[in-house]
Chains A and B, each alone.
Chain A
């Protein structure tokens, strides 16, 4: 056949091949991968560093970046470099775990609601309506009063309150996907509904899941910083990028680097997760790569 000659690449393991091709040809993707890996590695191994992020040095307050303190020092003379690295630990941990919590609940509820319809759909969607009608900041305050203050409850609070939009999004996708002929065919030949959900519907909504989850990481990092500002997030002396950003406000004129550095880290992290999400779609959705280019 003609087509098989022009597409000599047709071999097993195409998805992986596509993924590698995408990484080789997309500089932003390489950057994102490298950046996320470096940040993750640093976050994991920073605890082995001998420097203490909480060591106060009253004589060296608000020093600009220098060879001794790479990112300068803050208002208590603490090394800002270490504080940013330790802050990244918290921000990433909260962002990623809260994202998984939201995605897990949101995708589960959305798929069940869209696929089964009827009473399950009504109950789940009204529940979503109720939850999203309560202003989240009040919700968070109440919940964080009940739960013990700490990282785990912070993650759960952010994650459990962030799934409603995702559920709505996934539900509407599933509603349109399940009308497609290949799903009807699978139902016709009697494929198990769970199997249909996981093998047919999940891949079809996967691009949406990826987009939602990268956006979710970003919003979780932001929500965490807002909560820290209100005193309901991480408490001093523990730091996160969000809390560093918040506390830098007082010293914007004297030490602008205190705001810029964590800000840049947040932006790069959010960008990289978005970019990686886009690349992962290549794996899930074979159509998105431009197959014409490799003739």
Chain B
């Protein structure tokens, strides 16, 4: 049904180079390391992983907010990896972003109308049509048209996030990167925002890349899920499949960390080393997860596992996936 690939990343890399004392170059931080990924039109691709694993960086590199260090990105089959700023204008309509922190995402000195006009001005929409368009979008995200003249400080966190969503929708995008849009919100508001995102997706045929660390929310909204660990995708599968049958040791760890409402049903948790215990070394030649993994072998320490399709549509990057399961 949703076979058209909207965005395709091949061997995508994004390294950051922290500048040290006197401008000496330190080691790279490999925020996104050799990731290949495809996002189908109309789906919601969930990205999960602990904080600092590169979820946001991957998303922002995909929409070309960051310049990729290596690899290539295709948008509907067209290479947009090294596209120039002038040509990026074409993409602005197509790619949008919703930020995690609704307090920082909106300019506190601008009222809602001014905030929503910014992207409209960029796509060169006639200024006479702005007010109608803005009224339209505000209604779509559940705000009133008399909110146009209010400033962000007059809204609650959830309402601000709606304004952020409205700004992303203003230019009729195709692909929205939701950068932990619910992480800063109250649980009851989280549900509202997620439902709003889903309604909008149905209505406008949007495609989402949804990052979060709340697994149950990701499970609820995502079509497919990718699990990231230290800059790499370690497992990728249909949402239901992943939760039912996690293949990678790290995914198992993640899933076992979801708090269960009934302690009697809690499965006995596997013992994994924490990050601190594992003593991560800078030079890692093998699997990133190996230092924490209880199933590690010699192979894991010296060779990077690639994503293999173990079951139909279920990819995992682990040398021992077959043996473990």
Q: Which residues of A contact B (CB under 8 A)?
A: 1, 3-4, 7, 10-12, 14, 180-182, 184-186, 188-191, 200, 203-204, 206, 284-287, 291
Known: A11-B149, A182-B104. A188 touches B65 (CB 8 A): yes
For B286, list chain A residues within 8 Å (CB): none
Q: Complex: how many Å from CA A284 to CA B101? A: 23
Given A7-B154, A10-B149, A287-B153: A181 and B101 interface contact (C-beta under 8 Å) = yes
Residues of B with C-beta under 8 A to A10: 146-147, 149-150, 154
Known: A3-B155, A7-B154, A191-B118. A180 touches B146 (CB 8 A): no
Binding-face segment, B68-76, B105-113, B190-198, B214-222: B105-113
The reply to whether B97 and A188 form a contact with Cβ atoms under 8 Å apart is yes
Nearest chain-A residue to B159 (Cβ)?
A: A3
Give me 10 A-to-B residue pairs in the complex whose CB atoms sit less than 8 angstroms apart, sorted by A's number.
A7-B150, A182-B104, A182-B105, A185-B105, A189-B92, A189-B119, A203-B109, A204-B108, A206-B109, A291-B153
Q: Are B149 and A204 in contact (CB under 8 A)?
A: no
| B144 with A4: CB separation less than 8 A | yes
A176 to chain B, nearest CB (A): 11
> B65's closest neighbor in chain A, by CB?
A188
- Bound-state CA distance A14–B112 (Å) is 12
Q: Does B122 contact A (CB under 8 A)?
A: yes
Mark B105-141 against chain A: 1 for CB-CB distance below 8 A, else 0: 1111111000100110010000000000000000000
Whole-angstrom CA separation of A203 from B110 in the bound complex:
9
In the assembly, what is the distance between CA of A185 and CA of B116, in Å? 12
CA distance A287 to B97 in the complex (A): 26
Query: A190 to B88, Cβ gap below 8 A?
Result: yes
Given A185-B167, A189-B122, 16 more contacts at CB 8 Å?
A3-B156, A7-B154, A10-B150, A10-B154, A180-B104, A181-B99, A181-B101, A182-B115, A190-B85, A191-B122, A203-B107, A204-B107, A206-B109, A286-B111, A287-B153, A291-B154
In the complex, the answer to whether A185 meets B99 with C-beta atoms within 8 Å is yes
Query: Are A286's CB and B151's CB within 8 A?
Result: yes
A4 engages B122 (CB within 8 Å): no
Chain A residues near B122: list those with CB within 8 A: 189-191
Q: Are A190 and B92 in contact (CB under 8 A)?
A: yes
Which residue on A lies nearest to B106, using beta carbons? A182
Q: Which residues of B contact A184 (CB under 8 A)?
A: 65
Docked pose: A284 CA to B115 CA in angstroms = 16
Which of B106, B108, B109: most chain A Cβ within 10 A? B109
B143 within 8 A of A: yes
A206–B150 CA distance with the chains assembled, in angstroms: 20
The reply to whether B99 and A285 form a contact with Cβ atoms under 8 Å apart is no
Question: Which residues of B are in contact with A by a Cβ distance under 8 Å?
Answer: 63, 65, 85, 88-89, 92, 97, 99, 101, 104-111, 115, 118-119, 122, 143-144, 146-147, 149-151, 153-156, 159, 167
Contact: A4 with B106, CB < 8 Å?
A: no
B103 to chain A, nearest CB (A): 9
Contact residues in B for A3 (Cβ distance below 8 Å): 154-156, 159
Query: Which B residues are in CB contact (< 8 Å) with A7?
Result: 150, 154
Q: CB-CB < 8 A to B85: which residues of A?
A: 190
**Shortest 10 CB-CB contacts between residues of A and residues of B:** A203-B109, A286-B151, A181-B105, A181-B99, A181-B104, A182-B107, A287-B153, A188-B65, A189-B122, A180-B104
B105 close to A286 (CB less than 8 A): no
Chain A residues in 8 Å Cβ range of B108: 204, 285-287
**B109 and A285 form a contact (CB under 8 A):** yes
- Which A residue sits closest to B167, measured CB to CB? A185
Min C-beta distance of A136 to chain B, whole Å: 31
Given the complex of chains A and B, what is the CA–CA distance between A190 and B65 in angstroms? 10
A1 touches B151 (CB 8 A): no
Measured CA separation A3–B99 after assembly (Å)? 24
Interface core residue of A7, A14, A188, A190 (most chain B CB under 10 Å):
A188
Interface centre among B65, B85, B101, B151 (most CB of A within 10 A): B151
A187, closest chain B residue (CB): B65
Chain B residue, CB-CB nearest to A188: B65
Report the bound CA distance from A182 to B89 in whole Å: 18
Q: How far is the CB of B123 from chain A (nearest CB, A)?
A: 9
> Could you say which residues of chain B place their CB within 8 Å of the CB of A186?
118
Q: Write out the residue numbers on chain A whose beta carbons fall within 8 Å of the beta carbon of B153.
A: 286-287, 291
Contact B109 A4 (CB under 8 A): no
For residue A189, which residues in chain B have a CB less than 8 angstroms away from its CB? Answer: 92, 118-119, 122
Contacts of B156 in A (CB 8 A): 3
A184 to B65, CA, bound (A): 9
**Docked CA distance A164–B119 (Å):** 36
Chain A nearest CB: distance from B194 CB in Å? 20
Please give me the residue from chain B that is nearest to A203 by CB atom.
B109
Instruction: Provide the residues of chain A in CB contact with B143, threshold 8 Å.
Output: 1
Partner of A286 from B109, B115, B167 at Cβ < 8 Å: B109
Q: Which of B65, B115, B146, B151 contacts A4 (CB 8 A)?
A: B146
- Whether A204 contacts B109 by the Cβ 8 Å rule is yes
Closest B residue by C-beta to A13: B149
A190 to B88, CA, bound (A): 8
Cβ-closest chain B residue relative to A284: B109
